[in-house]
């Protein structure tokens, strides 16, 4: 008498057909179907997505907008009970509250700047409007000394403000600048190296500029500085 034969396609060790157990098929990277969703680490659809917004200026703007709106609402409500010879109607109260709303909305424009970058380029939104820059047209992401926000440097030294990365955010701005520079370095095409003829023209131009600088007559202050530099240093007299 023969034993029970396993079902066609069944695993002889487990004794169950494929797909009948709780195990799920793994993807190409060993992850299950439940792990195919985009995590919250900045990757969506296989592309890295970086999003940056200013933090401190948004907080300050929200506080200022709230203060303006509350002040106008309070003034509009209290005007109805004033008796200074002028009659304030409901329309006047509504108008004051509307002015408060408009003022608060204008103040909150400081929170509009946003940077979104992925493997193809970057979307830069400042106070008004949004501009898309593909990585091939971006030369570098600069943050000049003393500037309030970063800059996108394009060809021919053209710059575009990047208000989403602001100096007042400090460490957060440093991290955002580092991440967007990493994206640019990873996906921007390499700059073409100059040809030997171009290198020779650059060298000749530099030599001509150096010769013109040397032939330029010295000014009065430059002569004084050179005379002082050529004199031996004087010894300081010891205090008695």
The per-residue pLDDT for range 6-50, each reduced to its tens digit, is 444 444 444 444 444 433 433 434 433 333 333 333 554 446 688
Is 41 within a domain?
no
- Pick the more confident residue, 75 or 193: 75
The predicted structure's pLDDT at residue 6: 46
Is 29 within a domain?
no
How far apart are the two ends of the chain, measured CA to CA in Å? 123
Do 79 and 98 share a domain, yes or no? yes
Do 102 and 129 share a domain, yes or no? no
State how far the Cα of 4 lies from the Cα of 36, in Å rounded to an integer: 39
**Domains held by the chain: number:** 2
Q: Rounded to 10 degrees, what is the CA torsion of 213, 217, 222, 224?
A: 150
Is 199 within a domain?
no
**CA-based nearest residue to 153, from 144, 126, 200, 130:** 144
Domain boundary (80, 111, 142) is at 111
What is the mean pLDDT of the segment spanning 134-152? 89
Domain boundary (141, 164, 187) is at 187
Do 120 and 183 share a domain, yes or no? yes
Do 105 and 157 share a domain, yes or no? no
Is 12 within a domain?
no
Is 227 within a domain?
no
State how far the Cα of 133 lies from the Cα of 218, in Å rounded to an integer: 46
Do 97 and 121 share a domain, yes or no? no
The predicted structure's pLDDT at residue 14: 42
**Domain extent at residue 72:** 54-111
Do 134 and 87 share a domain, yes or no? no
State how far the Cα of 113 lies from the Cα of 173, in Å rounded to an integer: 13
Do 102 and 135 share a domain, yes or no? no
State how far the Cα of 43 lies from the Cα of 183, in Å rounded to an integer: 13
What does each C-alpha distance from 93 to 73, 80, 85, 89 come to in angstroms?
Answer: 8, 8, 17, 7
Do 135 and 165 share a domain, yes or no? yes
Do 102 and 118 share a domain, yes or no? no
The predicted structure's pLDDT at residue 82: 63
């Amino acid at each position: 008498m023969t034993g029970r034969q396993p079902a066609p396609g069944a695993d002889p060790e487990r004794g169950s057909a494929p797909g009948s157990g709780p195990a799920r098929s793994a993807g190409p990277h060993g992850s299950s179907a439940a792990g195919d969703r985009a995590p919250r680490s900045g990757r969506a659809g296989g592309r890295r997505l970086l999003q940056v917004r200013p933090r401190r200026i948004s907080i300050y703007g929200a506080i200022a907008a709230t203060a303006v709106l509350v002040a106008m609402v309070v003034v509009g409500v209290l005007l109805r009970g004033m008796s200074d010879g002028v009659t304030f109607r409901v329309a006047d109260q509504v108008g004051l509250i509307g002015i408060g709303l408009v003022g608060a909305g204008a103040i909150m424009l400081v929170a509009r700047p946003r940077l979104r970058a992925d493997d193809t380029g970057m979307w830069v939104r400042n106070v008004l409007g949004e501009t898309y820059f593909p990585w091939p047209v971006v030369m570098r992401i600069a943050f000049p000394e003393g500037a309030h926000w970063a800059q996108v440097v394009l060809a021919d030294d053209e710059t575009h403000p990047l208000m989403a990365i602001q100096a007042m955010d400090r460490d957060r701005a440093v991290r955002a600048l580092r991440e967007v520079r990493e994206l640019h370095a990873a996906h921007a095409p390499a700059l073409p190296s100059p040809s030997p003829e171009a290198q020779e023209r650059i060298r000749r131009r530099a030599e001509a500029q150096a010769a013109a600088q040397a032939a330029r007559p010295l000014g009065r202050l430059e002569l004084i500085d050179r005379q002082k530099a050529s004199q031996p240093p004087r010894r300081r007299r010891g205090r008695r």
